[in-house]
Amino acid sequence: MSLHFELNEVTRKLPKHLHKFIVRQPYEEYTYQNQAVWRYVMRMNIDYLSKVAHQSYIPGLDKTGILVNEIPRMEGMNRILKEIGWAAVSVDGFIPPNAFMEFQAYNVLVIASDMRTINHIEYTPAPDIIHEAAGHAPIIANPEYSEYLRRFGEIGSKAISSSKDYEMYEAIRLLSILKEDPNSTQNEIEEAQEKVEWLQDNLGELSEMAQIRNLHWWTVEYGLIGNLENPKIYGAGLLSSIGESKWCLQDSVKKVPYSIEAAKESFDITKPQPQLFVTPDFAHLSMVLDEFANTIALRTGGLKGVEKLIDSNNLGTIELSTGIQISGVFERVIKDKNNKVAYIQTIGETALASRDKELIGHGINVHKDGFGSPVGKLKGINLAIEDMSPRDLKAYGIYEGEFMTLEFETGIIVKGKAITGTRGLRGKILLITFDECTVTYGEEVLFKPEWGLYDMAVGTNVVSAYAGPADVNSFLNVGKVSETKTHKIKYSEKEKELYSLYKQVRDLRDNKIKDEDKLESIFVKLKTEFSKDWLLPLELYELALQHQFSIQEELLAYLHNLKANKNLENLIENGLKLIKVKEVQV
């Protein structure tokens, strides 16, 4: 099967289950107006952000292959990104948070490759290539920040979601798609907005994924750095938004010192943010991330961690004290009188692993109907099974070929004939396999002899619980691609005619052609047939000014007339300032 993305030293390491989220960059679908929007935004941003962005931003554009005059191609970006150990792939809009984080853990930048329309030139509710490429890419050239992103991906991809998180993801994805599509009806947008708002108000207790998504938003997307009085911008959402990058630094936007408390602060992706968090430096980001990681089931495990996996109703993993890892969809946990895990049960395909490698003979084909095992110590024996030497095991009647009864402190009883055991690299017993086995808890039968061999995982407690499989190769279909696809905008013949004028102007500029008659004919057609367009007149004026064409005064007057529309006033005025500054520099 041929891949639809470029393999290099970085992307070659991606697990196969992430491949399904990658799409071909639709470069031929970018219109010449899209290209002009990219150029306008990039020039505006560089002019302004050179003064207010983190010092890594401007040099980072060069280091990551971001051009000012042209929407970047993935192939070109990858050739440059690999020099700093990263890569880029195209995706369709928002992808599920766990998948997004996992790409990041492999040093791969996911780029929503659709391009914002001119109607959302200052801010787009949907992820687009300006946000992803021109926002995210430049700062990853900073080694300290790059390592923070990688570590964030590692931890974030293990965060456990609640069953409501995916519903929220789908709702936000749909709303962002509808808001960016000029063909959407107001009714469609309002219905989608209402659903997002309802879900936000009814999520209940924030899941681990919701909390780490908050941390991601307040740092990677909307982060400020430095001191509270005069911070600099490093978040991609701010770096890619002409309007919000200016608005965010005003006193009306509250500035708060960045801390773990940001994990509890939710956000509305469709609106400008009323408050932002300021980190003193990138090292502080990593410190807060580590502080947060210490609070989640990845590091705390226990009953609460197993219960989070059950609530998620998604593929997850628990690791026991011996190092054995059980990956599957967890259906049930039995707890003892001390609120400790007594027994765990998965449903459907399950795989066993150690040190993130599947144990031979214990993949999903063997455990296709689920897996259950006691957890804890044996009753009346201080020494845990995992710590027993061969002599200890024999003394307690635990050895191959013998029938035995193992009664756990929790009340779980395992009766059967031990036929083999599996030890890990550190010598601890990971697994004991029984024949003719019965497992009970009080009056309840948890396993019957007629069900076949019984594999009992060994461990006194659950030390870790996290989303996803231990071995990424154990499950072929990890993660789900949304069925809601980004709308491909349908252009009318009239719109295509306008875009052809944009192409003609671009050709004049790129090829340094000095042709006043051509420029004037484009302007005449623009005035008579596309009188609402404001960006192309700016580009015409720039060329006229550059070549000192006599039509420049008429073009300037035309632009001033367009400014009567209050929605266009700032856009045109900022464009004129940029053109005139450039002309003075020349």
For the stretch 227-283, pLDDT in tens is: 999 999 999 989 988 788 888 999 999 999 999 999 999 887 767 788 999 999 999
The pLDDT of residue 586 is 39
Same domain, 271 and 391: no
**Residues in the chain, overall count:** 586
The DSSP H or E segment spanning 131 is none
| Residues 6+ away with beta carbon under 8 Å from 360 | none
| Chain centre to alpha carbon of residue 566 | 36
Burial label, 126 (beta-carbon count in 10 A; 0-12, 13-18, 19+)? buried
Please tell me which residue, 103 or 184, carries the higher pLDDT value. 103
Q: How high is the mean pLDDT of the chain?
A: 90
- Of 467, 484, 515, the domain-final residue: 467
Amino acid at 114: D
Same domain, 287 and 302: no
Q: pLDDT exceeding 70 applies to what percent of the chain?
A: 97
- Tell me the sheet residues that pair with 418: 434
Q: Is the confidence at residue 524, as pLDDT, over 80? A: yes
SS3 375: coil
Same domain, 339 and 252: no
Alpha-carbon gap, residue 511 to 493, rounded angstroms:
27
- Cα 138 to Cα 22, 60, 303, 369, distances in angstroms: 21, 4, 42, 47
Is 396 domain-assigned?
A: yes
Same domain, 262 and 322: no
Q: What angle do CA 145, 148, 150 make, to 5 degrees?
A: 115
Alpha-carbon gap, residue 229 to 147, rounded angstroms:
27
The pLDDT of residue 496 is 95
Q: pLDDT exceeding 90 applies to what percent of the chain?
A: 63
The pLDDT of residue 1 is 43
Burial label, 349 (beta-carbon count in 10 A; 0-12, 13-18, 19+)? buried
Give φ, ψ of 529 to 5 degrees. Answer: -115, -20
Is 381 domain-assigned?
A: yes
* Cβ–Cβ < 8 Å for 11, 5: yes
Q: Is the confidence at residue 508, as pLDDT, over 90? A: yes
Q: The domain that contains 87 carries what CATH number? A: 1.10.800.10
Contacts of 473-477 with C-beta under 8 Å, sequence gap 24+, read 473/15, 473/16, 473/358, 474/327, 474/351, 474/353, 474/358, 474/363, 474/364, 475/17, 475/315, 475/327, 475/349, 475/351, 475/364, 476/16, 476/17, 477/17
| Residues 6+ away with beta carbon under 8 Å from 391 | none
Task: Please state, as a whole number, how many other Cβ atoms lie within 10 Å of the Cβ of residue 186.
Answer: 8
How many CA atoms lie within 13 Å of 189's alpha carbon, on the beta-carbon side?
13
DSSP letter for 228, please: S
Tokens at 521, concatenated:
């004919």
Alpha-carbon gap, residue 324 to 457, rounded angstroms:
7
How many domains are contained in the chain? 3
Same domain, 273 and 313: no
Same domain, 438 and 504: no
Is 386 domain-assigned?
A: yes
First to last CA, the chain: 52
- Tell me the sheet residues that pair with 417: 403, 435
- State mean pLDDT over 421-432: 85
Give φ, ψ of 416 to 5 degrees. Answer: 175, -175
SS3 17: helix
Q: How confident is the model at residue 581 (pLDDT cuts 50, 70, 90)?
A: low
Alpha-carbon gap, residue 209 to 195, rounded angstroms:
20
- State mean pLDDT over 399-405: 88
The pLDDT of residue 303 is 97
Q: Is the confidence at residue 80, as pLDDT, over 90? A: no
What's the alpha-carbon Rg for the chain, to the nearest Å? Answer: 29
Is 4 domain-assigned?
A: no
| Chain centre to alpha carbon of residue 582 | 38
The pLDDT of residue 397 is 83
The pLDDT of residue 261 is 97
Contacts of 173-177 with C-beta under 8 Å, sequence gap 24+, read 173/93, 173/94, 173/482, 173/484, 174/484, 175/125, 175/270, 176/93, 176/94, 176/125, 176/126, 176/127, 176/269, 176/270, 177/93, 177/126, 177/484, 177/486, 177/487
- Of 275, 291, 307, the domain-final residue: 291
CA nearest neighbour of 393 among 369, 368, 423, 373: 423
Q: Is the confidence at residue 488, as pLDDT, over 90? A: no
Tokens at 525, concatenated:
């057609």
* Cβ–Cβ < 8 Å for 354, 339: no
Is 228 domain-assigned?
A: yes
Same domain, 316 and 333: yes
Alpha-carbon gap, residue 418 to 137, rounded angstroms:
56
SS3 252: coil
DSSP letter for 201, please: H
Please tell me which residue, 504 or 185, carries the higher pLDDT value. 504
For the stretch 187-236, pLDDT in tens is: 988 898 888 888 877 777 889 999 999 999 999 999 999 999 999 999 99
Is 474 domain-assigned?
A: no
The pLDDT of residue 428 is 83
Alpha-carbon gap, residue 469 to 158, rounded angstroms:
9
For the stretch 158-183, pLDDT in tens is: 999 987 887 787 887 788 778 777 78
Alpha-carbon gap, residue 156 to 174, rounded angstroms:
23
Same domain, 187 and 50: yes
Alpha-carbon gap, residue 309 to 304, rounded angstroms:
9
Please tell me which residue, 418 or 133, carries the higher pLDDT value. 418
- State mean pLDDT over 576-581: 83
Q: Is the confidence at residue 517, as pLDDT, over 60? A: yes
- Of 272, 291, 310, the domain-final residue: 291
Same domain, 226 and 326: no
Same domain, 235 and 366: no
For the stretch 269-321, pLDDT in tens is: 767 788 999 999 999 999 999 999 999 999 999 999 999 999 999 999 999 99
Alpha-carbon gap, residue 535 to 37, rounded angstroms:
8
Alpha-carbon gap, residue 306 to 292, rounded angstroms:
19
Residue 486 Ramachandran class (φ > 0 left, ψ -120 to 50 alpha, else beta):
beta
Q: Which residue has the tokens 């070929």?
A: 401
Is 485 domain-assigned?
A: no
Same domain, 212 and 331: no
Domain that holds residue 396: 297-467
* Cβ–Cβ < 8 Å for 330, 375: no
Same domain, 184 and 309: no
Is 475 domain-assigned?
A: no
For the stretch 538-568, pLDDT in tens is: 999 999 999 999 999 999 999 999 999 998 9
